[in-house]
Structure 1
């Protein structure tokens, strides 16, 4: 578990399902994800199980993003590297009622720091749909730069990322 100023970042679990499914049922939320996901409860179940399973296989995964002040589930964020992903990724997905609060940037910063310190990464990347201006803005606030464009799981995506800071930075 990690804590930031306003958030608790803890492993996703089955108890998150109702909030997770409600988040993905929102077409604007699900439609902005580079990792294709459907909007039904069954799709949400598979997605949540994938993140929980990723933690079992890789030892890390997206975390549940919990507001410290209220204890409410706000979304998911964290490191990500499934088979076929173009590097060690950092991603975020927030329920729409939590947009505009800076949570994606706050959780993203914690995830990047985790990748460089705990996972000893040399580079982290984020895949973002070209039409997702909100996530592009978050990536840029995190210090990511546009690296290239590529196809991922049938979608054209921007690959944003950053390298590990030099020891003297």
Structure 2
């Protein structure tokens, strides 16, 4: 999986060395509670979550990246392509530590992830699965070009599916 650079961010593969920052991010109940992939806030929960993303990369060849601020080298969160077993399509997602909220990093990383899905993975459609209560992620989805496609149940939770088709395909997203 390649490293992706944006204007302000370095998106690189998640690694074991990210654990302390990753665990601190998920220890915030407002961060963990906004995720459609339910995770807890304990260090053990963070370990399982990080291992899942790293394992996903080994199985699929792609996964979420660590989001690193270019200007400081600080870990800011994770974002990237994602399609675990049972997921309703090739997705992109994002999760940022609270002290990085409001900087536009989620949209910047989300746009890079969508582009990666279309150019590197050959996707015709990219989706994001978002809890209805997560208005911040809904706003990010809209900023990266997603539109609301449908509602469904995923892992026992009601979720919104936002998404977009590959530019120029003329294929509208399924309803």
Which category describes the TM-score, using the shorter chain as reference length? over 0.9
1:22 equivalent to 2:24? Answer yes
Q: Which of 85, 88, 109 is the matching residue for 2:87?
A: 85
Which of 23, 41, 44 is equivalent to 2:43?
A: 41
Task: Tell me the distance in 2 between the aligned counterparts of 1:97 and 1:47.
Answer: 20
- Distance in 2 (CA, whole Å) between partners of 1:147 and 1:89 is 13
Any unmatched runs of 5+ in structure 2?
171-175
CA distance in 2, matches of 1:109, 1:90: 9
Counterpart for residue 129 of structure 2? 127
Alignment partners' CA distance in 1, 2:155 and 2:41: 17
- TM normalised by structure 1 equals 0.98
- Alignment RMSD: 0.9
Structure 1 equivalent of residue 61 of structure 2: 59
Cα displacement (A) at 1:154? 1.1
Instruction: Map 1:97-116 to 2 at 5 A.
Output: 97-116=99-118
Distance 1:38 1:9, change over 3 A: same
- Which sections of structure 1, spanning at least 5 residues, go unmatched? none
Does residue 1:10 correspond to 2:12, yes or no?
A: yes
Task: Say yes or no: does 1:32 pair with 2:30.
Answer: no
Report the Cα distance in structure 2 between the residues aligned to 1:75 and 1:165, rounded to whole angstroms.
Answer: 28
Q: Provide the C-alpha distance between the structure 2 equivalents of 1:162 and 1:46, rounded to a whole number of angstroms.
A: 30
Give the TM-score normalised by the residue count of structure 2: 0.95
Offset at 1:72?
A: 0.1
Residues of 2 paired with 1:27 and 1:47: CA distance? 15
The partner residue of 1:73 within 72, 75, 78 is 75
The alignment covers a number of residue pairs equal to 168
User: Which contiguous aligned blocks of 4+ residues in structure 1 show a shift greater than 6 angstroms?
Assistant: none
Once residues 5 and 127 of structure 2 are traced to their aligned partners in structure 1, the CA distance between those partners, rounded to angstroms, is 22
